[in-house]
Amino acid sequence: MRHYLVSDETINQATKCLCNFSCLNSDTYDTCLIGGNLFGNFLDIEKKSRKIACPYLFSYGFSNYCTCPVRREVYERYRV
């Protein structure tokens, strides 16, 4: 089990989270696989693996992107 830490500021920015920040706990989170960070604000999702609709996830063309500030900070700090 792994618990990820992010700043309180980032938590406060994620006002649309429907999953009670479950991405901070590796045991409870169905993690979207990240392919990389685009333009600093978008995470390229390799595979849309979420079972719950996420307001931070969107598709454009054949790609999926994440704009969640919490998921972005987890990726930037821990590369997961």
pLDDT beyond 60 at 65? yes
Pair 70, 21: CB distance under 8 Å? yes
Sign of CA dihedral 36, 42, 43, 47: negative
What are the tens digits of pLDDT across the range 30-45? 667 888 887 777 888 8
Residue range 9-33: mean pLDDT, rounded: 83
Per-residue 3-state assignment (H helix, E strand, C coil) for 24-76 = HECCCCCCCEEEEEECCCEEEEEECCCCCCCCCEEEECCEEEECCHHHHHHHH
Quick one: average pLDDT of 55-67?
88
pLDDT above 90 covers a percentage of the chain that reads 26
Query: Does 3 score more than 90 pLDDT?
Result: no
Residues 67-78 pLDDT 10s: 999 999 998 998
